[in-house]
Structures are given as structure tokens and as C-alpha cells.
Amino acid sequence: MKFFIDTANLQEIKEANDLGVLDGVTTNPSLMAKEGITGQQNILNHYVAICEIVDGDVSAEVIATDLEGMIREGEILAALHKNIVVKIPMIPEGIKAIKYFSNKGIRTNCTLIFSAGQALLAAKAGATYISPFIGRLDDISVNGLDLVAQIRQIYDNYVFDTEILAASVRHPMHIINCAEIGADVMTGPLSAILALAKHPLTDSGLKQFLADHAKGNN
Ligand code: E4P
């Protein structure tokens, strides 16, 4: 399973990248705004800065919701760097844009997926990735992991190449459960990635090892 980090914070991206396990980055307009990145040129520069840190796919989201606008923005984004994946919302015009980019060999990430039908449509249009938002489904008492499993089955039935990018991951159990289901990618915060490494028995065991080593070497 590929690990993406879901942030526009350069420090966090560097920290995750330094772990040596980072395969890419996802961003969205809210994450850019959270970092205070505003204005088209600043946003484009920020995507380039992210691409210079991580050697992996970087999702950059279009703001337009009409087909022409999505195509115009997507082409500008895709030209920024070879690793940019154009992120497009799951709306009818977005499906057309995904098909357009797929025909041109430009990779896409269909975002805001909340149902299996949406995932099926995006795959048929040729999306490179689809992003089911599991945390946001959990927030409304719908099991987000069930959706990932349902999409996995559908994609396997028809051998779609589209990769399932489990998004809106909130905690380490989401990551583990996505791996069990067979999501191709997960994108989550640095905290969830780092939490995978934590275990109290690791901490106490290491403390004991170091204490015993120190005793023997005094
Ligand atoms: C996915 O690409 C989105 O950026 C993201 O995962 C949304 O997560 P949230 O529900 O934590 O905002």
C-alpha cells in the first residue's frame, strides 16, 4: 500500500519524507488555505515546492466546476511538474474532465467520492485514482471502510486499473484496516502515520535494553 500525506504543510511533508516511506502527497483547497497559501501564482509555486521535496505523486486540485475551466486549470497544473496528478471533484462535469485528461495521458484523482456508484463512474472515465473520504463518512455514522471494501470488490470484478486512494484517514486503525481491505493507497495526516510506529511495549522494552546496557558498561 502506498502512503501519501494529506497536507500542504512543507515541514510535515519533509518530516514524513525523511521517514523514507512516503509515496506522495494530497492537498485540497482547504489544506492550502490552512497554510495561508492564497492567490493563483502562490498556489502554483507551492505545488512546485511540494514536488521538489517528494519524489511521488502530488495531487493538485482544480477550483473550477465547469468543464472548460477544469480543463484549463488542469492543464496548467499538469504542466507544473511530471509528478502532478490533477484532482477533480466527482460531479458530472468532472467525469467529462477525467475522460478528457485520460485521453490525453494526464493523470487524475477523482475526489469527494462517497458511494460505490461514483467510484464506478470515475473508473469508467479513466481516473488514475479515486478518493473515498472514509473519515467524513464515519462522521455521519456511515462506515467508510465498508465503502472501500465495496469499491475494492467492484474494481477487482472488472480489473479496473484505477487505484483506490483511501482519503480522509484520521487515525492509525484506518490505515491498518485499509491495508487489510486492499486499498492501493492511503492518505492521512502525519500524526496517523507516526502513530503506526508507537507501542508501549516497544518503549518499555527499549528503555530496559538501554538500562541493562548501561549497567554492564559502567
Ligand atoms: C483527500 O485528498 C482530502 O484532502 C482529505 O483526505 C480530506 O480529509 P478530511 O476529511 O480530514 O478533510
Cα 118 to averaged position of ligand 1 atoms, centre (Å): 17
Calpha distance 84→109 (Å, rounded): 10
Residue nearest to atom 5 of ligand 1 (CA): 168
Helices (H) and strands (E) in the chain, counts: 11, 8
Cβ 4 vs Cβ 36: under 8 Å: no
Per-residue pLDDT in tens (0 to 9) along the chain, 218 residues: 999 999 999 999 999 999 999 999 999 999 999 999 999 999 999 999 999 999 999 999 999 999 999 999 999 999 999 999 999 999 999 999 999 999 999 999 999 999 999 999 999 999 999 999 999 999 999 999 999 999 999 999 999 999 999 999 999 999 999 999 999 999 999 999 999 999 999 999 999 999 999 998 87
Tell me the backbone φ, ψ of residue 61, rounded to 5 degrees: -95, 140
The grid cell for 80 is: 507544473
Calpha distance 79→83 (Å, rounded): 10
Cβ 78 vs Cβ 106: under 8 Å: yes
Ligand 1 atom nearest 188 alpha carbon: 6
Cα 34 to averaged position of ligand 1 atoms, centre (Å): 13
Cα 131 to averaged position of ligand 1 atoms, centre (Å): 9
Cα 67 to averaged position of ligand 1 atoms, centre (Å): 23
Residue nearest to atom 6 of ligand 1 (CA): 168
Catalytic residue numbers read 87
Residue nearest to atom 12 of ligand 1 (CA): 168
Which residues' Cβ are closer than 6 Å to ligand 1?
A: 6, 26, 28, 111, 131, 133, 135-136, 167-168, 187
pLDDT digits (tens, 9 = 90+) for 105-150: 999 999 999 999 999 999 999 999 999 999 999 999 999 999 999 9
